[in-house]
């Protein structure tokens, strides 16, 4: 088990004088994740030359390291061995580690990279890397140098009070720390799109709460269970979030009875956006997030997106607007929501779906329907009756 982790930061060099705020926000998130894995752990977490270094005598589990990989704002994670700042200790440590890791019956390529954070260390980075590479070649006949694409990258970092040695590097989510770009209400569904949209805005620093429109009795409990499973995954890219399961069957039933048939779908969306705005007001949300992709379905044409924008007091974020479906599905596989999204479920929108949904909604009709059918109090009542689930950074949840 590794007792040190090097946490490399993404995009912070762009932040100028705000860098301290972004750094502190990320540091708090990292601490939250590590503590969630080991509540009693005594841990040190320090900023060392624009990277975080976590140290613990009890060590960090692989699960903790993989959780950090999902934290937005981190570019990569390197589990490391920490030794005293003594050049003579580096080679024995490396030999012991490679003895455990190498399959000596096959050729393995490697490269040694060295960086001196402490410039007073009496060996420059290039000489140190060359010397260690030479000595490792003499020790292990199965090793071969490859400076462009090695199987093992041996990274030596000479810090102010120690030397950190790592041979593994995990690419992380990248982007900006959660909480640095505002609070968002994410309209979540069981398909591929909205979970991927959530991931996209997590890595742009948006803290999110989720709203799901539950069309009971037209759909069963299985769809709600599916949404909870999706939020278990998405919450691992957040730092604490809530899911609001809003009973919406009565609203959809009223709309379906009262409106022109071809307007059912877009009116469902209009009142969902209105409800999401009410939730945003209650939780101080700055924006509404959807998984819309231009032209993918009738409610996502340019005109109909414009209609939705006119219904919302909050800005509507659409990070997938230019994505193709296959691109979205690949991202769903990457973030871990794909296998949940393909589980079949009832969909009330499909149940009420007209044969020919409008693709260029008429603003006048939308406005006149709204004036004649003020559902404001009904929507607020639905929100009052919502089931609320609270998720932690590990994806574990409780109903409030």
Radius of gyration of the chain (CA): 26
Residue 108 has pLDDT above 70, yes or no: yes
The pLDDT tens digits of the residues spanning 71-96 come to 999 999 999 999 999 999 999 999 99
Please state, in angstroms and rounded to a whole number, the distance separating the CA atoms of residues 176 and 206.
9
Question: Higher pLDDT residue, 104 or 184?
Answer: 184
Strands 397-399 and 387-391: antiparallel
Residue 346 has pLDDT above 80, yes or no: no
Q: What sign for the dihedral angle of Cα 43, 234, 16, 120?
A: positive
Mean pLDDT on 298-317 = 91
Mean pLDDT on 315-328 = 96
Is the Cβ–Cβ distance between 292 and 318 less than 8 Å? yes
Is the Cβ–Cβ distance between 77 and 92 less than 8 Å? no
Mean pLDDT on 302-317 = 93
Among 14-23, 86-95, 359-368, whose mean pLDDT is lowest?
14-23
pLDDT band at 215 (very low <50, low <70, confident <90, very high): confident
- Compute CA distances 374 → 98, 251, 367, 379, whole Å: 70, 11, 11, 10
Determine the pLDDT at residue 348. Answer: 61
Residue 240 has pLDDT above 70, yes or no: yes
Determine the pLDDT at residue 258. Answer: 82
Determine the pLDDT at residue 351. Answer: 66
Determine the pLDDT at residue 153. Answer: 96
Closest CA to 193 of 345, 321, 359: 321
The gap between the terminal CA atoms of the chain, to the nearest Å, is 36
Determine the pLDDT at residue 312. Answer: 94
Determine the pLDDT at residue 42. Answer: 78
Percent of the chain residues past pLDDT 70, beyond the cut = 98
For all residues of the chain together, what is the average pLDDT?
92
Determine the pLDDT at residue 350. Answer: 65
Determine the pLDDT at residue 77. Answer: 96
Determine the pLDDT at residue 349. Answer: 62
Q: What is the pTM of this model?
A: 0.91
Mean pLDDT on 4-9 = 94
Determine the pLDDT at residue 341. Answer: 93
Determine the pLDDT at residue 238. Answer: 97
Strands 152-158 and 108-116: parallel
CA 53 to chain centre: 21
Please state, in angstroms and rounded to a whole number, the distance separating the CA atoms of residues 52 and 10.
12
77: number of Cβ within 10 Å: 27
Determine the pLDDT at residue 123. Answer: 82
Is the Cβ–Cβ distance between 162 and 190 less than 8 Å? no
Angle, helices 90-101 vs 125-139, to 10°: value is: 50
Question: Higher pLDDT residue, 48 or 326?
Answer: 326
Is the Cβ–Cβ distance between 48 and 117 less than 8 Å? yes
Strands 163-166 and 152-158: antiparallel
Residue 192: partners with Cβ closer than 8 Å, 6 or more residues away: 291, 325, 328, 329, 332, 337, 338, 341
The pLDDT tens digits of the residues spanning 251-263 come to 988 888 888 888 8
Q: And the tokens for 76?
A: 């990569």
Please state, in angstroms and rounded to a whole number, the distance separating the CA atoms of residues 354 and 357.
6
Locate tokens 């580096």: which residue?
Answer: 90
Pinpoint the alpha helices (H) of the chain.
19-37, 62-69, 90-101, 125-139, 193-202, 221-234, 249-258, 264-283, 302-311, 325-335, 338-341, 348-351, 363-372, 376-384
Among 99-113, 234-248, 322-336, 340-354, whose mean pLDDT is lowest?
340-354
Question: Higher pLDDT residue, 340 or 296?
Answer: 340
Closest CA to 311 of 266, 250, 377: 266
Please state, in angstroms and rounded to a whole number, the distance separating the CA atoms of residues 240 and 287.
18
Residue 395 has pLDDT above 90, yes or no: yes
Is the Cβ–Cβ distance between 115 and 158 less than 8 Å? yes
Q: And the tokens for 336?
A: 């871990």
Mean pLDDT on 18-35 = 92
Mean pLDDT on 90-111 = 94
């Amino acid at each position: 088990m590794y007792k040190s982790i090097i946490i490399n930061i993404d995009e912070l060099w762009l932040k100028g004088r705000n860098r301290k705020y972004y750094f502190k926000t990320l540091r708090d998130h990292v601490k939250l994740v590590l503590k969630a894995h080991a509540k009693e752990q005594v841990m040190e977490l320090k900023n060392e030359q624009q990277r975080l270094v976590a140290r613990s005598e009890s060590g960090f589990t692989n699960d903790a390291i993989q959780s950090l990989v999902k934290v937005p704002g981190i570019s990569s994670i390197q589990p490391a061995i920490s030794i005293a700042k003594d050049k003579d200790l580096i080679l024995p440590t490396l030999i012991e580690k490679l003895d455990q890791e190498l399959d000596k019956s096959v050729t393995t390529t490697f490269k040694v990279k060295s960086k001196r954070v402490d410039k007073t260390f009496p060996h420059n980075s290039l000489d140190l890397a060359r010397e260690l590479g030479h000595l490792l070649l003499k020790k292990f006949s199965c090793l071969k140098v490859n400076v462009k694409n090695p199987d093992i990258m041996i990274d030596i970092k000479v810090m102010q009070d120690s030397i950190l040695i790592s041979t593994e590097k995990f690419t992380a989510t990248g982007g900006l720390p959660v909480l640095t770009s505002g609070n968002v209400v994410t309209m979540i569904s069981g398909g591929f799109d909205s979970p991927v949209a959530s991931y996209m805005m997590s890595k742009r620093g948006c803290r999110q709460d989720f709203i799901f429109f539950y069309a009971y009795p037209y759909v069963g409990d299985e769809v709600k269970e599916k949404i909870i499973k999706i939020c278990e995954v998405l919450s691992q890219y957040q730092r604490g979030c809530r899911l609001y399961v809003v009973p919406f069957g009565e609203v959809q039933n009223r709309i379906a009875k009262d409106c022109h048939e071809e307007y059912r779908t877009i009116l469902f969306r209009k009142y969902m956006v209105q409800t999401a705005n009410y939730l945003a007001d209650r939780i101080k949300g700055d924006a509404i997030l959807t998984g819309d992709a231009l032209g993918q379905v009738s409610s996502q044409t340019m005109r109909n997106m414009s209609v939705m924008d006119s219904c919302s007091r909050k800005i509507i974020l659409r990070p997938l607007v230019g994505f193709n479906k296959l691109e979205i599905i690949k991202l769903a596989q990457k973030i871990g929501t794909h296998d949940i999204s393909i589980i079949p479920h009832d969909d009330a929108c499909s149940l009420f779906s007209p044969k020919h949904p409008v693709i260029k909604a008429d603003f006048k009709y939308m406005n006149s329907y709204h004036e004649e059918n003020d559902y404001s109090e009904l929507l607020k009542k639905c929100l009052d009756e919502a089931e609320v689930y609270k998720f932690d950074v590990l994806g574990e949840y409780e109903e409030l």
